[in-house]
Amino acid sequence: MLKLKMYAAALAVTCISGPLVLQGCSEGQSNDVTAQGTVPLEKIIVGIPESTVKQSILTFVPDTSANAGSGGKTQYLSREKNANGGQYIVQCKDGTVFQVSTLFTGTPLSKDTAESELKKLLPKDAPAQSKVEEQTGKQIYYYGDNYVGEVILLPATKGAAPLVSQVTVTNNPSAAKAATEGEKATKNQ
């Protein structure tokens, strides 16, 4: 009788978990997403499939704010923060992550740490940094023709080093520009 109960329990577990295991291996899904619906934040970079973020239901949540879907994009917010206290804002279009921002609302970062954070958001095959532009309140970093990084600086106090509140990397800047213009048009209506 005990063997029969153990067999029935094993069969029940197999019937319940079997489809979950098969679902985790289906085509188009990222191997970085665990069966529990999590993904390490360091795996989130521009150019990965949107499915990686979408399936990470414990790590990310869809942004339901009014402008999150403007310009045909989908936006996700991380539920947790990275080691430096940054929350991820991930923007996707046509099934691909085209922009990742890390927002530091608690303690701002030093410029050096921010530049390191920016590089973590780039794919490994991204070209070397080709140009830097200094603009009021931000620095723009170019990596070839396809990747643009932006570091948002907080207003500096006299004699203090500049601090950073946000780091953003965009793949295919024209797609990001179109999405941003759609967002601006929505705000102006």
pLDDT tens for the chain, 189 residues long, are: 444 444 444 434 333 433 333 333 333 344 589 999 999 999 999 999 999 999 999 999 999 998 898 999 999 999 999 999 999 999 999 999 999 999 998 889 999 999 999 999 999 999 999 999 999 999 999 999 899 999 999 887 777 777 899 999 999 666 445 544 544 444 444
Of 32, 72, 71, 70, which is closest to residue 54 (Cα–Cα)? 32
Q: What is the pTM of this model?
A: 0.75
Report the alpha-carbon distance of residue 93 to residue 173 in Å, rounded.
12
Of 145, 129, 43, 31, which is closest to residue 90 (Cα–Cα)? 43
CA distances 118 to 25, 135, 157, 180, Å, are 31, 17, 23, 20
Domain assignments of the chain as residue spans, ordered by start: 37-188
Q: What is the DSSP letter of 49?
A: B
Token pair 């949107």: residue: 50
